[in-house]
Amino acid sequence: MIINPFIKRCSIAISILSANLASLGKDIAKLVRSGLTDIIHFDIMDNHYVPNLTFGPILCKSLIEYGIQSNFHIHLMTDPSERLIREFIELGVHQILLHVEEGITLKKELRIIRENGCKAGIVFNPKMSLEILTTLINEIDSVLIMSVNPGFGGQSFIENSIKRLLEARSIIDRSGKDILLGVDGGINLKNLKKIVETGVDILVIGSAIFNRSRNYVEILNVFRKKIDFYQKKLVN
Ligand SMILES: O=C(CO)[C@H](O)[C@H](O)COP(=O)(O)O
């Protein structure tokens, strides 16, 4: 439980993994216009690093050309990634997130991202130790804790993620760095309270918005109100 009265307002990042791609521009425009979100989260999967195939820079480019003005967060689940990193930087995305893997430092890739004016984040799969977070603390702007195994939307939240979020929160707070903590996967209205209580800064939400009804803004509004309510309770 956090007791810091200066906590930031928790952001909602819309994961488009479960969105209807046929109406994506229109749907995202509405969500962005609502002012309830300022992050669009893109799961870039290559059917090799994870067993699913999604989209790439072309989709981001199309949304930019369509007029979407938001922070694009690019969650890379690809191997190799360097060429894609450069393509996304070229498009002017706000943040690129890379998975931490055993025996890989990521230092070169993180440096490329940041040297080109983009924010860099690292992502931890549910079973990956958080140990390397301390080593990379000076190279990153955000940390994303996966609360499902990456690959598909609509999975159940892994309970142990609460403990991992608290651990990551404590490492970040002790570092004194301005690093945002995010969580990705299985977030819904039922588990929202305990997740917000960990002191997380960004909630990546997909199927709970896109799979419930066609009125995405209404659902997003329910999430926004509940998050604000739970955060308010933390400081009172
Ligand atoms: O990274 C992901 C899967 O690899 C998705 O962003 C994540 O699962 C969000 O979708 P949902 O809210 O449906 O769980």
Atom of ligand 1 nearest to the CA of 150: 4
What is the rounded distance in angstroms from the CA atom of residue 71 to the CA atom of residue 182?
A: 15
What's the gap in Å between 205 CA and the centre of ligand 1? 7
Mutate to test the pocket of ligand 1, among 14, 18, 99, 184 (most ligand atoms within 8 A of CB): 184
What is the residue extent of each domain of the chain? 11-235
Architecture field, domain 11-235? Alpha-Beta Barrel (3.20)
| Residue 145 in contact with ligand 1 by CB distance below 6 A | no
Q: Is the CB of 203 under 6 A from ligand 1?
A: no
pLDDT digits (tens, 9 = 90+) for 93-135: 999 999 999 988 899 999 999 999 999 999 999 999 999 999 9
Tell me if 61 sits within 8 A of 93, measured CB to CB. no
Can you tell me which atom of ligand 1 is nearest the CA of 186? 14
Q: Is the CB of 153 under 6 A from ligand 1?
A: yes
Residues 126, 160 contacting (CB under 8 angstroms): yes
> Model-level pTM?
0.96
Going through 54-179 in order, the beta strands assigned E by DSSP cover: 71-77, 95-99, 119-124, 142-146
For residue range 184-199, what is the model confidence (pLDDT) as tens digits? 999 999 999 999 999 9
Find out whether the peptide bond into 57 is cis, omega within 30 degrees of 0: no
Residue nearest to atom 6 of ligand 1 (CA): 15
- Ligand 1 contact, 32 CB (< 6 A): no
Residue 43 among the catalytic residues? yes
Radius of gyration of the chain (CA): 17
Rounded Cα gap, residues 144 and 146, in angstroms = 6
- For the chain (length 236 residues), average pLDDT per consecutive 10? 64 97 97 96 98 98 98 97 97 98 92 98 98 96 98 98 98 97 98 98 98 90 98 85
Please give the pLDDT value at position 103: 85
Question: Which pLDDT score, from 0 to 100, does residue 8 have?
Answer: 85
Which of 40, 54, 204 should be mutated for ligand 1, with most atoms under 8 A from CB?
Answer: 204
Q: Give buried/exposed letters for 192-227 (b at 16+ CB in 10 A, else e).
A: beebbbbbbbbbbbbbbbbeeeeebeebbeebbeeb
Q: Check whether 185 is labelled as a binding-site residue.
A: no
Residue-level pLDDT at 6: 61
3-state secondary structure at position 24: helix
How many CB atoms neighbour CB 231 within 10 A?
Answer: 18
131 secondary structure, DSSP code: T
Two tokens, residue 19? 């969105």
d(CA 2, CA 40): 27
185 in ligand 1 pocket by Cβ < 6 Å?
Answer: yes
pLDDT at 3: 43
25 is in an annotated binding site: no
Q: Is 74 in the pocket of ligand 1 (CB under 6 A)?
A: no
DSSP 8: P
Residue 156 dihedral angles phi and psi, to the nearest 5°: -85, 145
Question: What's residue 235's pLDDT?
Answer: 79
